[in-house]
Amino acid sequence: MKKTYSVLFVCLGNTCRSPLAEVILKSELKRAGIKRVGIKRAGSRKVNVSSAGTGAFEGGRASSGSTITARRMGVSLGRFRSKPLTQLRVRRADLILTMTGSQKREIVARWPEELDKTFTLSEYSGTGDGDIRDPVGGPLSAYYRCGDRLHTEIKRIIPRLRKATRPSKRKP
């Protein structure tokens, strides 16, 4: 069994939604007592959380709206830098969560063998509420709505992640 469980959030530019999802999940994992990479506790696999964009450039900063929204939520995007979605990132992920159905379809079209681990966030959370709208270019209130929606969806996936990161019990 791998020592880490890797979650990859994907959006288009990797400057608004997926970076927010990344830092929100890290915060929620800590709150739930699920260890992240770098935090040592016995009993379950470490969780690595990252994000990338289907149309992202390497090294860009998070949008100011997302940075302000993150700060409002008690998390930080100050050190965040954007990353493009690559074959290596896709292959290393145990779970890929996209912001839209079209992003999921794009990943599955490029890497059909990764279908079983690729979901929209709302699909994986069980809400089925569809796409998470991109706030880019909108007012700060659009970023706040996006952050609130991400937070709601992410809180719903914590039980599934807890189960996925538990070591499997071997039968004697």
- From 11, 45, 146, 149, the catalytic residue: 11
For the question of residue 61 being annotated catalytic, the response is: no
Which residues on adjacent β-strands are paired with residue 84? 53
For the question of residue 145 being annotated catalytic, the response is: no
- From 17, 45, 146, 149, the catalytic residue: 17
- From 131, 134, 156, 162, the catalytic residue: 134
Which residues on adjacent β-strands are paired with residue 53? 11, 84
Residues 6+ apart with CB under 8 A from 93: 6, 7, 8, 114, 117
Residues 6+ apart with CB under 8 A from 16: 62, 63, 65, 66, 134, 135, 136, 143, 146
Rounded CA separation 74/71 (Å)? 5
Q: How far is CA 165 from CA 29, 133, 160, 162, in A?
A: 11, 29, 9, 5
CB contact at 8 A, 62 and 15:
yes
Query: What are the catalytic residues?
Result: 11, 17, 134
